[in-house]
Amino acid sequence: MNEGSTSTARAIEFWFDFGSNYSYLSMMRVEALAAARNVTIVWRPFLLGPVFRQLGFENSPFVLQKEKGAYVWKDMERQCRKYGLALTRPSTFPRAALLAMRIALLGANEPWIGAWCRQIMQLNFVGDRDIGSIDVVSEALDSLGLPVQSVLDAAQSDANKLRLREQTERAISKGIFGAPTFFVGGEMFWGNDRLEDALDYCDTIVARQ
């Protein structure tokens, strides 16, 4: 883990959940945008469900508020068209993806983290696959050439499970209330709409030093 990296110049913390539709938009864009600006991504998978429950919501606000929920999928269609991304509205939303999230945490500093995250997001938001199932997760690991059983075992170790709970607690203590959320030098940016602003902010910090 790279816990101290928030203070590193030219680094962006990317807090996401695979079930989050606006996290999908950022996930598919962040690596190219960050690379173009020479910014390092610090991957921060966390569980949005416990964050919502902490805030008093029993489900995604996009489910609880039907007007907002209806709008969000129109917005997603338009946003995906703008970014050139495919989209299939998942037949289950939000989709729990605990095992895939544990693998993302396990691989947060591994070279395959970006590919893993994009793969899972595309399975959910393009393939409409059940990313909560061990079969789909195993298939995704295999398609990336990763050792399926050893990754599953490590992801499901007590230590890794605990780390994901702790990371989710950290999200709450940092004031995170949705996903995606970005941090750059202690500044919080919420939502895919702020990804570019967050990356631009890296330049501000460097200029100050």
Nearer to a copy of itself, 82 or 208 (CB): 82
- Report if residue 58 touches a copy of itself, rule: CB under 8 A: no
CA dist list (Å): 48 to 12, 36, 51, 58, 180: 19, 29, 5, 11, 10
Amino acid, single-letter form, for residue 151: V
Strands (E), 35-186: 40-45, 181-184
Cis, bond preceding 61 (omega within 30 deg of 0): no
Q: Are residues 22 and 78 in contact, defined by beta-carbon separation less than 8 angstroms?
A: no
- Report if residue 74 touches a copy of itself, rule: CB under 8 A: yes
Smallest separation, CB 143 to a copy of itself (Å): 34
- Report if residue 203 touches a copy of itself, rule: CB under 8 A: no
The separation between CA 23 and the C-alpha centre of its own chain, rounded to angstroms, equals 5
Nearer to a copy of itself, 153 or 196 (CB): 196
Amino acid, single-letter form, for residue 95: R
Region binding a copy of itself by CB under 8 A among candidate stretches 74-82, 99-107, 110-118, 145-153: 74-82
- Report if residue 144 touches a copy of itself, rule: CB under 8 A: no
Binding residue count for a copy of itself, defined by CB under 8 A: 21
Q: Which residues bind a copy of itself (CB under 8 A)?
A: 55, 65, 67-68, 70-71, 74-75, 78, 82, 175-178, 187-190, 193-194, 197
